[in-house]
Amino acid sequence: MMTEEDRRFLRIAYDEAQAGFDEGGCPIGSVLARGGEELARGRNQRVQRGDPIAHGEMDALRKAGRQKTYRDTTLYTSLSPCMMCAGTIVQFAIPRVVIGEAVNFGGNEGFLRQHGVEVVIADDPDCIALMNRFIAEKPALWAEDIAE
């Protein structure tokens, strides 16, 4: 179930995705929040930094720094997490993930659920449209991002 807080943080994740797209990178943004407060936001920076693991979720987690626990956080991401990011979510015991869209890329929602993560898929039209545009305009970069 999406709350107003969820919509607010998902919009920030979308804005991060748009910023990444505008920089020439992959449009995937993320926010880590606790109790209605933003801990950090990030975006896919693989192209910008030349770093193969600088995915949006990883960037937000890196910027959040060390946390005593993640068990009271929610991770917001504009696109369904890849296996690397899904594994990190499970490793850090992040209990809830709100996904902007899983139309253009998905498949790890079941993995997350199998490991006790609450998964909310927003089917956000802006997230879907931005990723559609990116895939159409930069198919080679998209293939590289998902290791195909």
Residues annotated as catalytic are: 57
What is the C-alpha to C-alpha distance for residues 1 and 116, in angstroms, rounded to an integer? 16
CB-based burial of residue 57 (10 Å sphere; 0-12 exposed, 13-18 middle, 19+ buried)? buried
Residue 137 CB neighbour total at 10 angstroms: 10
* Plot region of 116 (φ>0 → left; ψ -120 to 50 → alpha; else → beta): left
